Amino acid sequence: MAKLYFYYSAMNAGKSSTLLQSAYNYKERGMDTLMFVAALDDRYETGKITSRIGLQANAVIFDGHFDFFEYTANALKENPNIACIFVDDAHFLCKHHVEQLSRITVFLKRPVLAYGLRSDFRGELFPATQYLLAWAEELVEIKTICHCGRKATMNMRIDEQGRPVKSGEQIEVGGNERYISVCREHFLLGDSGGGFRFAEIEDKDREGNQKT
């Protein structure tokens, strides 16, 4: 059996960067990888894993009907050099997806590294996150910070005035909502730190981090 890893974090911690760096390490040592991303994630381009800091790579899109086990078994027949399976947006998986990933590690003997959010804006686990937290051999936190300087572990949804939103659908695609990662104290107190908005600095800073 290979291991199932769950790299969890709050929003905007650098999950995709960490995934892309790990996949790069495999490639650098002459090993191939499979990378998967949610169809749902249309922040950037479809079929791309994209990090805020400016990295990007092609990935296979999954939706609810996708079968990770079948896809990986077939891919290994053509290319046994595939050494590791990477899944971005793992909080968008379904329970049966996590079962497929579990079987990949047992029967296809390849490690699976899944990267996703721990909890939603109400503090509830996502369905897939439940099973990743229950079954993964390694739970690894990717850290980020609250506006107060402490580690951020929770995700606050805020409206256009920067006020915390407490109810609504778990996933709102294409809405105007924004998320801020905060520590548990500021989550409980509903303190968004002034409704600081990421979107504004994101575009100009991303360029500053690319080599020219």
Q: What is the DSSP string of 27-38?
A: HHTT-EEEEEEE
Q: 108 phi and psi, to 5 degrees?
A: -100, -10
**Separation of alpha carbons 95 and 187, rounded Å:** 27
Query: Residue 187's closest CA among 92, 105, 118, 134?
Result: 118
Stretch touching a copy of itself by CB under 8 A, among 63-71, 85-93, 157-165, 201-209 = 201-209
Q: How far is the CB of 167 from a copy of itself (least distance, A)?
A: 17
Least distance from a copy of itself to the Cβ atom of residue 28, Å: 6
User: If binding is defined by CB under 8 A, does position 81 make contact with a copy of itself?
Assistant: no
And the tokens for 69? Answer: 């086990």
By CB atoms closer than 10 A (0-12, 13-18, 19+), residue 79 is exposed
How many other CB atoms are there within 10 angstroms of residue 142's CB atom?
Answer: 15
CB of 179 vs a copy of itself, minimal distance in Å: 12
124 versus 169: smaller Cβ distance to a copy of itself: 124
Interface residue with a copy of itself among 97, 157, 183, 192 (CB under 8 A) is 183
Binding site for a copy of itself (CB under 8 A): 1, 4, 12-14, 17-18, 20-22, 24-31, 50-57, 83, 102-103, 105-106, 118-119, 123-125, 130-131, 133-135, 137, 139, 141, 143-147, 149-151, 153-154, 183-185, 188, 193, 196, 198, 201-202, 205-206, 208-211
